[in-house]
Amino acid sequence: AQSVTQLGSHVSVSEGALVLLRCNYSSSVPPYLFWYVQYPNQGLQLLLKYTSAATLVKGINGFEAEFKKSETSFHLTKPSAHMSDAAEYFCAVSGGGKSTFGDGTTLTVKP
């Protein structure tokens, strides 16, 4: 069975600071990994995905994630946080035709 664990249910950063959201995965086969963002009262929106083409993946809104097999990690980063980045972020792993989501990390951006 595949799973992801998001470390930290809440992360708070100042505007302009580095954003780092952590995700570790468990998979018996090369994984397909995703990050989604959810704004209040909305559905999830795909930020980026890893499908083995490149270990550093760039997504929308300036986010990127690096796949590290040795650490079984797929952390999400953004160099400079913006107020509009405040949302909940979900890491997901796909296998057997379906995705399993982590518990989510709520990002707060302080002015």
Partner 1 sequence: DAGVIQSPRHEVTEMGQEVTLRCKPISGHNSLFWYRQTMMRGLELLIYFNNNVPIDDSGMPEDRFSAKMPNASFSTLKIQPSEPRDSAVYFCASSPRTGNDYGYTFGSGTRLTVV
Tell me which residues touch partner 1 (CB under 8 A).
32, 34, 36, 41-46, 49, 51, 90, 94-104
Which residue, 17 or 88, has its beta carbon nearer to partner 1? 88
Phi-psi region at 62: left, alpha or beta (left = phi > 0; alpha = psi -120 to 50): left
Alpha carbon 8 to chain centroid, angstroms? 12
| Residue 99 C-beta: closest distance to partner 1, Å | 7
| Residue 62 C-beta: closest distance to partner 1, Å | 18
| Residue 50 C-beta: closest distance to partner 1, Å | 10
Which residue, 75 or 81, has its beta carbon nearer to partner 1? 75
Which residue, 97 or 111, has its beta carbon nearer to partner 1? 97
Q: Are 90 and 36 in contact (CB under 8 A)?
A: yes
Which residue, 7 or 32, has its beta carbon nearer to partner 1? 32
CA distance 74 to 60: 16
CA distance 71 to 73: 5
| Residue 75 C-beta: closest distance to partner 1, Å | 18
Residue 27, class by beta-carbon neighbours within 10 Å (0-12 exposed, 13-18 middle, 19+ buried)?
middle
